[in-house]
Structure 1
Amino acid sequence: MTKDQIIEEVKNSPLNKVKLAICDIDGILRGKVIHKEKFLSVVETGFGFCDVVFGWDAADVSYDNGKFTGWHTGYPDAQAVLDLTTYRKVPWDNDIPFFLADFKSGADKALDICPRSLLKKITAEARGLGFTPFFSQEFEWFNFKETSQSLADKQFSQPQPITPGMFGYSILRATIGSEFFNSLFDQLEQFGVPLEGLHTETGPGVFEAAIMYSEILEAADRAVLFKTGAKEIAYKQNIMATFMAKWNEKLPGCSGHVHQSLWDDQKKNNLFYDEKKAHQMSDLMESYMAGQLHCLPYMLPMVAPTINSYKRLVEGAWAPTTLTWGIDNRTVALRALPGSKKSTRLETRVVGSDVNPYLAMSACLAAGLYGIKHKLKLEVKPTQGNGYENFSNGTLPSSLEEATAKMKNSEISRELFGEEFVDHFVRTREWEVRQFAQKVTDWELKRYFEII
């Protein structure tokens, strides 16, 4: 649809309201519902949105180390501008018109710390080099027979999964909650987030969904909207969905693997494919992978952003711990999937389900482009077998504190993402580390209360 057609359709909507949203640094959609007349008045000029969304954490606690905004600035409005190409109707909310927005710094300049704007900037760089990035994301997440109130009442202890036991790829388990399962597949497609596949994973109440691939910005939009959409559809059926990377130490963690390939500017040729090369992987693909392996230690908080992320990145838990790659190997950081002209791609397996998709895709693309621009060679040998044991290129940082320090002290991160973004993002992760460090956990009470 054209811009004018979209505006006309909203104008003629039987509803008198429109839903708008932006994505904060943690990947949480923050939004509001406005009157249709208000929408029509701001569709060209933009609207004010309190910049506190970049001044507090996921729990709405204000940072004490913020630079961009805080008590020292008075938390003024920032300028947000609607992206009409994101137009959708929300099928589980009376088909209310829905749009995403970007933050601006002044009339024309994108706000450096806005996650969606960062992805647009790096995508523009790729296109300037003659590449069209096609991406997709897949998510694993757990679902429980709980509501926000019931879970709070039991203090987040022993939530009841919607299905019992360990039963991956189960047709039987999917039928237990078939109404929820089918609602996810069908309503998300109506919402413009088509799924390539949906199945149970191994673990009580866990699903995995693969989102259809598309150009990178649309792929990130779909991923962000998938996470919120899945939670909202779950709410409607008294189900609680969680995208925590690791909610239970005894169960597998939840991934958010990112699939990626570069095509020419005509979108006709997959530049990762070369039928004359070993495994049909082009030199470009190898440089792209070399860039990611080189940059991963300095961008890790963007693909593993929480304290909990690193509980997933442990040996033998279907998540990588080493700077490795392999052909169709699920124990390594980078799983190369060479095949046909259409399907050859890279899967970055470090990414967890708790990520901000805009930042995860920005990190993957920027690091890959780094390898291409610096003509890096894929000198690391492909891992055969167990990537937890067979590696020679080092390991990933093992905590958010360590990963954040590496990113903060790296010139590479600034080259990839810019000074303003890195400064802001690092401050938010340092805050996250401090919030956890001062808490007394149940583990500490059980271990030390009586004995020490």
Structure 2
Amino acid sequence: MSFVKTHGLWTDAQNAAFAQLLERLKESAVQVVRFSFPDQHGLLRGKTLVVADAIKAFESGVTLTSTLLAKDTSHRTVFPVFTAGGGFGMPEMQGACDTLMIADPQTFRILPWAPHTGWVLCDLYFPNGRPVPFGTRHLFRRALERLANQGFELVSGLEVEFHVFKLTNPNMKPEHSGQPGLPPDVELLSHGYQYLTELRYDAVDHVMEMLRNGIHELELPVRSLEVEYGPSQFEFTFAPTKGIKSADDMILFRSAVKQICQRNGYHATFMCRPRIPNVVSSGWHLHQSLVHIDNGSNAFMPSDATAPLSSVGQAYLAGLLAHAQAATALSTPTINGYRRYRPYSNAPDRANWGCDNRGVMLRVLGGPNDPATRVENRVGEPTANPYLYFGSQVLSGLDGLQRKLELAPSADTPYETEAQSLPRSLGDALDALRADECLREGFGGAFIDYFCKLKEAEINRFNLEVTDWEHREYFETF
């Protein structure tokens, strides 16, 4: 019996999707399949198998070293994997042993830019059938199950900003390698600062069309393509979807954009604030609401014409505010992301809310008789692991519902209204995350400690670097 059947890992829907997938592979020209899992940073890692072996691996799994879970964003191993418990206090993680990637057949795609290549998203399991507790897709799914137990399903939509540049030099000489290696040299595609002008859009239409074609063939629910405010800055928005799908779409979208650009002489980056003159920070706005499982109606839509949200929506929103500081570590997980939190900048700098106000952290949209009533969280950066970002929202909102938290008054002047400041650094955000009982219980204490250790490794490396600012400030003066 296969690993999947032995441990009962697939739902009926996944089994049906696998049967359809087998027929699709027989009829297609696919020769290899990429098995990928979203790691702790939301990066795709995995292995590529020829199609005959891939068909077997769907049910038996693909082995993968557990050390991939021990790496920070420079791909350095942070945990002592050859000590007892592998640095995690878990025998399954000791000695760089194997885990198994188990494919989710419902996520299978044929990649339009990679000849004869299929792709499927996977979850990580130990050989004994236990889910790897650091698998972020597992964690988000668990949060969604808790939400379902309360009679609700998450609906979410995406607004994602990013930059695309013309590649001029990939910097691939031997001396350019390292952890990390030297980033590429680039040129702008647009000067920026002509927000939503058709002339700017037309100037980059060839790139937009290249991306749109690739994303469309992946069946991702793109709604709009926009030239954003900053130089070489783009934005894509996506239609709302239920459950885990928006997070899966975000993972595939980021990877697809980078791969399509890489193959065509461009460099795409989801880094929040690249070190480019006159740059504008990129954000990731997450639209979210709940629907009642029994009838599919929007649980945030108010019946009272004077209320911004229903009682459910208000309590959920109050939960997002209560845990905003801690959740920032998951929505903004890089040192660079905190460069974005500036007053009067269309980005939030404190935990507040308002109706259709782009200066607040949590923007309420819709109202009575509007089935699209929702909350837009404007705090995230586009590098965030979507399973952790989404999961932090569900757990925070659920806490608000269960404790029936009262919603504070709205902030009509968001950069002047008194409210808790968002963390000013990744270190401050990690301190808040460690101390937050709701998120610690929801994700598990072991995962929170693991995540914080990974992020602190990045902070420690950053603190050892001498920045250009320091050199300019002190080298001559002193």
Distance 1:106 1:197, change over 3 A: same
Q: Is 2:272–2:282's contact at 8 Å kept on the other side of the alignment?
A: yes
Is residue 89–residue 191 contact of structure 1 (8 Å, CA) maintained in 2?
yes
Aligned residue number for residue 191 of structure 1? 218
**Are the equivalent residues in 2 in contact too, given 1:211–1:222 (CA < 8 A)?**
no
2:364 and 2:375 in contact (8 A); partners too: yes
The partner residue of 1:235 within 262, 265, 281 is 262
Question: How far, CA to CA, are the matches of 1:130 and 1:375 in structure 2?
Answer: 16
Correspondence for 1:87: 108
Equivalent position of 1:134 in the other structure: 155
Spell out, residue by residue over 1:121-178, the C-alpha distance to the aligned partner (whole angstroms, 9 max, x if none). Answer: 1011111111111112211111111167159879558731111231211221122222
SS in 1 for 2:33: strand
Aligned pair 1:214/2:214, yes or no?
no
Partner of 1:420: 446
The CA deviation at 1:405 is: 1.5
Aligned to 1:49: 64
Matched, 1:163 2:190: yes
Deviation at 1:363, TM superposition (A): 0.8
Deviations 1:349-408 (A, max 9, x none): 111112111111111111111111111111x110113x1112x23211111111111212
Rounded to whole Å, the distance in 2 between the matches of 1:221 and 1:148 is 32
Matched, 1:36 2:51: yes
2:314: which partner in 1? Answer: 286
Paired residue total: 449
Q: Cα 1:151–1:246, aligned 2, differ >3 Å: closer, same or farther? A: farther
Q: How far did residue 68 of structure 1 move?
A: 3.1
SS of the residue aligned with 2:60?
coil
Cα distance in 2 between the residues matched to 1:148 and 1:346 = 42
Aligned to 1:180: 207
Give, in angstroms, the shift of residue 37 of structure 1: 1.5
Give the AA of the match of 1:299.
A
Q: Deviations over 1:216-266 (max 9, x none)?
A: 311001011111111111112211111111124743211011111101114
Checking the alignment, whether the CA contact within 8 Å between 2:308 and 2:364 is kept in structure 1 is no
Give the SS at the match of 1:192.
Answer: coil
The percent of aligned pairs where both chains have the same amino acid is: 28
Q: Do 2:99 and 2:127's aligned partners in 1 also have CA atoms closer than 8 Å?
A: no
Following superposition, the deviation at residue 411 of structure 1 comes to 2.2
Q: Which amino acid aligns with 1:371?
A: G
Q: Answer yes or no: is the 8 Å Cα contact 1:194–1:211 preserved in 2.
A: yes
Residue by residue, what CA displacement relative to the aligned partner does 1:253-295 show, whole Å, maximum 9, x if unpaired?
A: 1101111110111462011102325245100000000001001
AA aligned to 1:68 is: F
Tell me if structure 2 keeps the 8 A contact 1:257–1:348.
Answer: yes
User: Against the structure 1 CA distance between its residues 50 and 231, is the aligned structure 2 distance closer, same or farther, given a 3 Å change threshold?
Assistant: same
Alignment of 1:74-113 (within 5 A): 74-94=95-115, 96-113=117-134
| Equivalent of 1:123 in 113, 126, 144 | 144
- Conservation of the 8 A alpha-carbon contact between 1:259 and 1:345: yes
Kindly tell me: are residues 423 and 11 of structure 1, through their superposed partners in 2, closer, same or farther at Cα, counting changes over 3 Å? farther
Contact kept? 1:298, 1:407, Cα under 8 Å: yes
What is the identity, as a one-letter code, of the residue corresponding to 1:435?
A: R
Note if contact 1:367-1:416 (Cα within 8 Å) is conserved in structure 2: no
Partner of 2:425: 399
CA distance in 2: counterparts of 1:267 and 1:404, whole angstroms: 39
- Give, in whole Å, the separation in 2 of the partners of 1:292 and 1:426: 21
Q: Distance in 2 between matches of 1:29 and 1:225?
A: 9
Instruction: Report which stretch shifted further, 97-106 or 215-224.
Output: 97-106
**Partner Cα separation in structure 1 for residue 453 and residue 161 of structure 2:** 28
- How many Å separate the matches in 1 of 2:364 and 2:251? 25
Query: Deviating runs (4+, > 4 A) in structure 1?
Result: 69-72, 150-158
Task: Indicate whether 1:437 and 2:457 are aligned.
Answer: no
Q: CA deviation at 1:46?
A: 1.6
Distance change >3 Å, CA 86–CA 397, structure 1 → 2 = same
Give the Å deviation of 1:335: 0.6
The 8 Å contact of residues 395 and 439 in structure 2, kept in 1 or not, is answered as: no
Q: Which residue of 2 aligns with 1:308?
A: 336
> What is the aligned partner in structure 1 of residue 472 from structure 2?
446
User: Partner residue of 1:271?
Assistant: 299
Residue 327 (str. 1) matches residue 355 (str. 2)? yes
Contact kept? 2:98, 2:126, Cα under 8 Å:
no
Q: CA 1:26/1:2 → structure 2, altered by over 3 Å: closer, same or farther?
A: closer
What is the CA–CA distance in structure 2 between the aligned matches of 1:28 and 1:423, rounded to whole Å?
Answer: 20
TM-score where L is the length of structure 1: 0.94
Of 370, 376, 383, which residue of structure 2 is paired with 1:347? Answer: 376
CA contact (8 A) 2:224 2:238 kept: yes
Letter in 2 for 1:376: L
Contact 2:168 2:187 in 1 (8 A): no
Residue type at the aligned position of 1:357:
P
> Is 1:146 matched up with 2:167?
yes
Q: 1:151 to 1:315 in 2, by over 3 A?
A: farther
The answer to whether 1:62 aligns with 2:66 is no
- What is the CA distance between 1:27 and its match in structure 2? 1.0
Q: Give the direction of change, closer, same or farther, for the CA distance of 1:65–1:107 in structure 2 (3 Å limit).
A: closer
TM-score (norm: length of structure 2): 0.89
What's the offset of the Cα at 1:14? 1.9
- The answer (yes or no) to whether the contact 2:341–2:347 under 8 Å persists in 1 is yes
Distance 1:158 1:40 in 2: 41
User: Paired residue for 1:255?
Assistant: 283
How far the C-alpha of 1:334 sits from its partner, in A, is 0.5
Q: CA deviation at 1:432?
A: 1.5
Once residues 148 and 413 of structure 1 are traced to their aligned partners in structure 2, the CA distance between those partners, rounded to angstroms, is 43
Look up the match of 1:411.
Answer: 437
Contact 1:139-1:256 at 8 Å conserved across structures = yes
Change (3 A) 1:145 1:63: same
Let me know the Cα RMSD of the aligned residues: 2.3
